Amino acid sequence: MNVEIIKQSIIQAKWFSQIGNCFPGDGMLAVPNLQAWLTKIFNSDIGEREACIAANMDWLPSSITDSDPIHGSALRNYLEENQIDYRPVLKEISQLCIKSLRIVADDAITCGPHNFTKAAKDAALYCARIAAMESMANKPGRWCDLLTLYEGGYWPCGLMPNGSLVVF
């Protein structure tokens, strides 16, 4: 996946239009809803599987200042060591992604009183930026794969301790 394909993925994305309908592939767990996150204590009313996921999942990053749980600082270091000027590309990707995400209503992803929409949009932006970095480093990997899930309308929202991806 190169930067041009990433741009097309962002433009064509069906942002969050298929949430709750994911059929998981290898290394993935699908959650049909966000009921497990309604309370701080996960009870059996939501189902044992969902409670286990909610209790153990680490949310994927949604802030530009969050560290990359997959690569750490390796991508950035590689790009800087090889004098690849990635910042203008990240700016362009960010602007394109923000523009594309405008189609998502501010209350598109809610569960009870909780609104997950801003976190989901910010996580999509984070993903697009890191996918672009993977591409510029000629190391397309997990973030490029996650961007494909976003493009399909899903929300890859977290990682389990064993590395499995949680998708809503």
CB atoms within 10 A of CB 52: 14
Reported as a pLDDT band with limits 50, 70 and 90, residue 42 is low
Question: Using one digit for the tens of pLDDT, what is the confidence trace for 5-27?
Answer: 999 999 999 999 999 888 888 89
Every domain of the chain and the residues it spans: 3-167
Q: Could you list the beta-strand ranges (E) of 12-155.
A: 28-30, 58-59, 110-111, 114-115
pLDDT at 80 over 80: yes
Reported as a pLDDT band with limits 50, 70 and 90, residue 43 is low
Torsions phi, psi of 99, nearest 5?
Answer: -65, -45
Residue closest to 71 by CA, chosen among 119, 124, 25, 129:
129
Report which secondary-structure segment, H or E, holds 166: strand 165-167
pLDDT at 114 over 90: no
Q: pLDDT: is 51 or 138 the higher one?
A: 138
Least confident of 22-26, 44-48, 64-68, 112-116: 44-48
pLDDT value for 24: 83
> What is the reported pTM?
0.90
The torsion region of residue 103 among left (phi > 0), alpha (psi -120 to 50) and beta comes to: alpha
